Amino acid sequence: MLNRSGAMAAAFRVLALTGMLTAWANGALAHEGHPHTEDDSAGASSAAYLTLPYLQNVKTDGITIMFELDAQPSATVEYGTTAEYGKIEMTKAIDSGFSSRIYKCVLTGLRAGTTYHYRVVQDGTDFTGDRTFTTAPDTPVPFSFGVWSDSQGNNHGAYPGDVLEPTKTMMAHMATSGVSFGVTCGDLAEDGSAYQDTRDFYLDRVAKYLGQKVPWFVAWGNHDKDRSSVIRKFADMPSKDREGFDPGWGSFSFDYAGCHFICIDDNTKDADIADWVESDLKSAANQAAKFTFLFIHVPPYCELWIDGDAGLRGNLVPLVQQYGVDVVFSGHTHEYERGYKEHVHYIITGGASWLDLEEPVVKDWEHMFIGGAQDIPGFKHGLVNEYVKVDVDADNWQASMHGFKPDGSYLGVLDTVDAQPKDTNADGLIDE
């Protein structure tokens, strides 16, 4: 972050005030206060918001704010611990390649566990409404996070009234459920290299309904395509801190409230698992963590459509067992499954858009006992739209699966699992 002296901050405020008075004199301010609410597009003299500001890459001392405009004005972010703001940071913009500009503002030097107010300013005169974010805590306090995967497309006719449901409602539900952030196991658009798919299935659902409230992290999937795909331009992940990787490319890890999180990119997984993953699991941050959660698109074990990934069973599973990973989350198959083996939980949460209704059960793994070859009460196999919320406290975590009908109607919690499952015969398998 570019630190502003008091004099420079005052100069910015004078420039902004001058612009506002000029606009008011010309009749540009239609009502008292700032001209645009959270849902407003920019005025005639400003660029229109194609994607309203959303949050990325939360840390104890920073966060990233991104948005998309249909033109290229100068833009700043005003922020502070109250709606008086008091600090200003410049943005940087890149061309989306599709007649729009993607803006990014990285804030640093923030206080841990603190709620900040912010607004985006175009050309010193055009303001969004007041918004907030909260930085990560620097101590192991209770928190929650959401997990989903495969929110990549429409509902394939399951609810013709709105083909983008139930994903919109699910993202909004997650955002208001008390989570501090979300994590996805990828496949966020049918074709991540296509702008319209990125718009319809990602920006207008995940960024709009979740990202305006809380940030999210991505373990990229195969549909998110390669390094140059458009969907990856709209991300600011911790992968940027690894040499040779980008904000939207590569695996990464981060820490939050005493827990360690590992997100593996489907495109770089082979090299990362061969080298980087074990070094990260050996890191001081992971060794000191209360719990370790790992996210990867394709599951090591699966029962519907595929039996999982044999390569991951050979190279990743031994690592998660050796270094005490608590949960491996994944997607790829569009359903919900859960199991437990050698003290590691495996949760597939791929029910965020259309479901694999026609796919057969191809395997019945002994340790996978919810979904797949087994029915969830009321649902064949694990075929239900859902996301998982994980609540973490001092010495436990609990994952709860929240189910939805295709029209977005909430079904409630359909499955739960604890960090401390019953294993009465000590065979490494959870008691059913």
- CATH at residue 64: 2.60.40.380
pLDDT value at 32 more than 80: no
* Claim to verify: residue 311 and residue 167 sit in the same structural domain: yes
- Residues of the chain by 3-state class (helix, strand, coil), percent to 5: 20, 30, 50
Angle at the Cα of 130 from the Cα atoms of 125 and 135, rounded to 5 degrees: 120
Whether 25 and 47 map to the same domain: the answer is: yes
Per residue in 99-143, pLDDT (tens digit) is 999 999 999 999 999 999 999 999 998 999 999 999 999 999 999
**Same domain, yes or no: 130 and 150:** no
Q: What pLDDT is recorded for position 426?
A: 59
Query: What pLDDT does residue 2 have?
Result: 39
Q: Are residues 274 and 245 in the same domain?
A: yes
- pLDDT, the chain, mean: 90
End position of a domain, from candidates 134, 158, 176: 134
Whether residue 127 contacts residue 119, with contact meaning beta carbons closer than 8 Å, is answered with: yes
Q: Is residue 432 part of a domain?
A: no
**Could you read off the pLDDT of 209-254 as tens digits, one per residue?**
999 999 999 999 999 999 999 999 999 999 999 999 999 999 999 9
Identify whether 182 is part of a domain.
yes
Whether the per-residue pLDDT at 56 is higher than 90: the answer is yes
Distance CA 42, CA 49 (A): 6
Co-location of 127 and 227 in the same domain? no
Query: Structural domain tally of the chain?
Result: 2
pLDDT at 46: 81
Taking the C-alpha atoms of residue 174 and residue 181, their distance in angstroms, rounded to an integer, is 9
**Are residues 321 and 394 both part of a single domain?**
yes
Question: Are 257 and 388 within one domain?
Answer: yes
CA separation for the pair 331, 299 (Å, rounded): 6
Do 291 and 216 reside in the same domain of the chain? yes
Question: Percent of the chain beyond pLDDT 90?
Answer: 85
Q: Are residues 284 and 393 in the same domain?
A: yes
Q: Say if residue 121 is in the same domain as residue 268.
A: no
C-alpha dihedral sign at 372, 378, 380, 386: negative
Q: Decide if 424 is inside a domain.
A: no
Q: What is the pLDDT of residues 291-334, one digit of tens each?
A: 999 999 999 999 999 999 999 999 999 999 999 999 999 999 99
Decide which of 134, 164, 191 is a domain's last residue.
Answer: 134
User: Are 207 and 224 found together in one domain?
Assistant: yes
CA angle 365/316/216 to nearest 5° reads 95
The residue segments making up the domain with residue 147 are 143-418
State the SS3 of 44-110: CCCCCEEEEEEEECCCCCCEEEEEEECCCCCEEEEEECCCCCCEEEECEEEECCCCCEEEEEEECCC
Could you tell me which residue, 178 or 25, shows the higher pLDDT?
178
According to the model, what pLDDT value does residue 428 have? 57
- 391 domain residue, yes or no: yes
Which of 8-12, 177-181, 184-188, 336-340 is predicted with the least confidence, judged by mean pLDDT? 8-12
Half-sphere CA count of 416, side-chain side, radius 13 A: 8
Task: Name the β-bridge partners of 145.
Answer: 181, 390
Contact 84, 130 (CB under 8 A): no
Asked if the model's pLDDT at residue 275 lies above 70, the reply is yes
Task: Give the model's confidence band at 420: pLDDT under 50 very low, under 70 low, under 90 confident, else very high.
Answer: confident
What pLDDT is attached to residue 4? Answer: 33
Judge if 128 and 192 occupy the same domain: no
* Domain-terminating residue out of 100, 134, 168: 134
Where residue 370 sits, what CATH number does that domain have? 3.60.21.10
To 10 degrees, the CA torsion angle through 285, 291, 295, 298? 130
As a whole number of angstroms, the distance between CA 117 and CA 85 comes to: 7
Taking alpha carbons only, the member of 88, 154, 163, 97 closest to residue 119 is 88
